[in-house]
Amino acid sequence: MDPKIAAEVERQLAELDRSAVDFYGRDELAGRLADALTAGRPLRVKLGMDPSAPDLHIGHTVVLHKLKIFQDLGHMPIFLVGDFTAAIGDPSGRSKTRPPLAREQIESNARTYVDQVAKILDVDRAEVRFNSEWMNAFAPADFVRLCAHGTVARLLERDDFAKRYAEGTPVFVHEFLYPFVQAYDSVALEADVELGGTDQTFNMLMGRDLQRDYGQHAQAVITHPLLVGTDGSEKMSKSLGNYVGIAEPAEEIFGKVMSVSDVALLDYVDYLGNGDWDDLLAARTAVAAGEGDAMGLKKEIARRLVARYHGRDAGSEALDRFERVVQGGEVPDDVPEHQLALEGQNGRSLLEILEQIGFVGSRGEARRMAKQGALSVDGERVEDPTRALAAGTWLIRLGKRRFARVTLRD
């Protein structure tokens, strides 16, 4: 082999190893990479995602950045939106059946995905595909033939199914279909590589088997660590609601990162830097040893993440806002304004106002909050929520984070 090609293969593989947990078929891929480089052909690299929630979160970015690395190396990223599979519901890592999504929901999620991916990947130089493209053309007989490529025993070996079966939680037959479809996607796309989280290992390996059955090369599979969510224990996931969405407003991202527990923070340094955060390693080591400035490190990570998705200035602004509002207890300068009509001579009760501006879901909740000392008007704690406000403008605060400026007039 041409030594220049060999060196390039080594260089690229080293890049690809970054932040990977497992790399199945690495040696095989080395050969194919050499061929591809010689022929000037890019590798086809698949990353699939279910449009099961409108937001992509920072956990996804670990693997999205890997896709970006492939792109930068001159290969072809394929971002596959699993619109067909979303209608099945990925059982991976789940302790219950995932509810299937409505068609419209899937479509609107899919659209926002592409926009969000564009923050990381150059989507103009990528293939964006939907698996309904080929799956909708599947005849029942095709499906049956597809399913003949796997055995029940293998499916039952899967940790999540095995657990559920043992616990007596229902496992529906359609959930078995998911890995088959995901595997077939690799066949349809003729993928050379598939990327995913470690929870996707089974599905992706099944793609290797299936591709061989269909007379193709088996794709290489690179798995990546799963980021823990803001709760610090469960993996970050859309359905658990412990995620930091990359399309969320700057202050939300900042706040959510700040609420991550100190221990989980270490993973964030390790997995989210994409090689650019080496300057944080010293701080990371110190915090890991229990003597560093965890808070400072967390602020810095929060700032960088906001900057990554909203621009450099937004990062500093979010940091500044956090220090003033959350730490300093100041009133933020972007308090939402509400205009309410004054009814009668007595003004309107706080109960009513809180409900109207959507701070509480019920009046009972407003009463409870007030009793707990969470309600204040113009900086003064109010424990009686039935108190009425007269005409004028009032600053209402509920809890630490909810502010509103309410103007009452005729």
Partner RNA sequence: GGAGAGGUACCGAAGCGGUCAAACGGGGCAGACUGUAAAUCUGCUGGCUAUUGCCUUCGGAGGUUCGAAUCCUCCCCUCUCCA
In the chain, the N- to C-terminal Cα span, in Å, equals 85
Q: Write the CB contacts of 199 (distance below 8 Å, at least 6 apart in sequence).
A: 92, 93, 226, 235
Looking at residues 314 to 333 of the shown chain, list those that interact with RNA (rule: CB under 7 A).
322, 326-327
How far apart are CB 19 and RNA at their closest, in Å?
24
Binding segment for RNA (CB under 7 A), chosen from 118-126, 127-135, 147-155, 252-260, is 252-260
Cα–Cα–Cα angle for 178, 223, 273, rounded to 5 degrees: 130
With a CB cutoff of 8 Å and minimum separation 6, the contacts of 410 are 341, 342, 391
Tell the smallest beta-carbon distance from residue 363 to RNA (Å): 3
321-344 burial, b for 16+ CB within 10 Å, e for fewer? bbeebbeeeeeeeeeeebeeebee
Question: Hunting for tokens 């041409």 — which residue is that?
Answer: 2
Out of 60, 303, 310, 402, which residue is the one contacting RNA (CB under 7 A)?
A: 402
Of the candidates 368, 390, 391, 392, which one interacts with RNA according to CB under 7 A?
A: 368
- Distance CA(141)–CA(126), nearest Å, equals 32
Asked if residue 259 binds RNA (CB under 7 A), the reply is: yes
Q: Which is nearer to RNA, 174 or 409 (CB)?
A: 174
The DSSP secondary-structure symbol of 245 reads: B
* Residue 303 contacts residue 315 (beta carbons within 8 Å): yes
Helix (H, G, I), strand (E, B) or coil at 45: strand
Sole window of 21-29, 64-72, 166-174, 187-195 interacting with RNA (rule: CB under 7 A): 166-174
The verdict on 335 binding RNA (CB under 7 A) reads: no
**Tokens standing for residue 379:** 């900086």
239 part of the interface to RNA, by CB under 7 A: no
The correct pick among 155, 177, 246, 369 for binding RNA (CB under 7 A) is 369
Residues numbered 283 to 302 that lie near RNA (CB under 7 A) are 293-296, 298
Binding residue (CB under 7 A) for RNA from 38, 136, 169, 356: 169
361 binds RNA (CB under 7 A): yes
Binding mask 82-111 for RNA (x = CB under 7 A): ------------------------------
| Closest CA relative to residue 183, chosen from 278, 280, 80 | 80
Q: How many CB atoms lie within 10 A of CB 41?
A: 14
Per CB under 7 A, the segment of 15-23, 52-60, 120-128, 392-400 that binds RNA is 392-400
Q: Which is nearer to RNA, 211 or 230 (CB)?
A: 230
Residue 174 touches RNA, criterion: CB under 7 A = no
Tell how strand 193-197 and strand 44-49 pair up. Answer: parallel
Residues forming contacts to RNA in the complex (CB under 7 A) are 165, 168-172, 231-232, 251-252, 254-256, 258-262, 293-296, 298, 322, 326-327, 351, 355, 361-365, 367-369, 371-374, 386, 398-402
